[in-house]
Amino acid sequence: MSNFFVQLWESIFSPGTTPQLIIATHASFFALLLTLASLIYTTGGNIHFIIMFALASVLWLTVIWFIYELQSVQLKSNKELEEPQSQESSAPKVATTTATKKASTSVKSRKA
């Protein structure tokens, strides 16, 4: 059990999702929903707890979706992200837009 918490702590500092982080996330949301369900039962259906239960449920579903999306995308390390920039030419690129081109041609036409 202590190995789980050590791996959970180390997973915080690694990119992406790890099985320990996913298990801890699901356990936390399950505990939250269980607590809210018991409060709904205890208070006789207080609308505030019902709304909080619904919000927590939707949040848990979006977190599950986000974890699925993270797992389906191949994450790159910092070194992999820097490689394409070093392979490009070192000459600075100047961004031009249609508006700057129109402005420069109108200035030229005024001078003529």
Question: Range of 58's domain?
Answer: 17-75
Can you give the pLDDT at residue 40?
97
- Residue 26: inside a domain: yes
Can you give the pLDDT at residue 82?
78
Task: Count other Cβ atoms within 10 Å, centred on residue 28.
Answer: 12
- Residue 2: inside a domain: no
- Residue 108: inside a domain: no
pLDDT of 63-108, one tens digit each?
999 988 887 776 666 677 777 666 655 555 666 666 655 655 665 5
- Residue 10: inside a domain: no
Whether the Cβ atoms of residue 39 and residue 49 lie closer than 8 Å to each other: yes
- Residue 39: inside a domain: yes
- Per-residue pLDDT band at 54 (split at 50, 70, 90): very high
- Residue 95: inside a domain: no
Whether the Cβ atoms of residue 3 and residue 9 lie closer than 8 Å to each other: no
Q: Tell me the whole-structure pTM to 2 decimals.
A: 0.60
Count of the separate structural domains present in the chain: 1
- Residue 56: inside a domain: yes
Can you give the pLDDT at residue 70?
80
pLDDT of 2-27, one tens digit each?
788 888 888 788 777 788 888 989 99
- Per-residue pLDDT band at 30 (split at 50, 70, 90): very high
Can you give the pLDDT at residue 103?
59
C-alpha dihedral sign at 34, 37, 12, 73 = positive
- Residue 49: inside a domain: yes
How many Å apart are CA 45 and CA 30, to the nearest integer? 19
Closest among 62, 63, 37, 60 to 50, alpha carbons compared: 37
Distance of CA 64 to the CA centre of its chain: 12
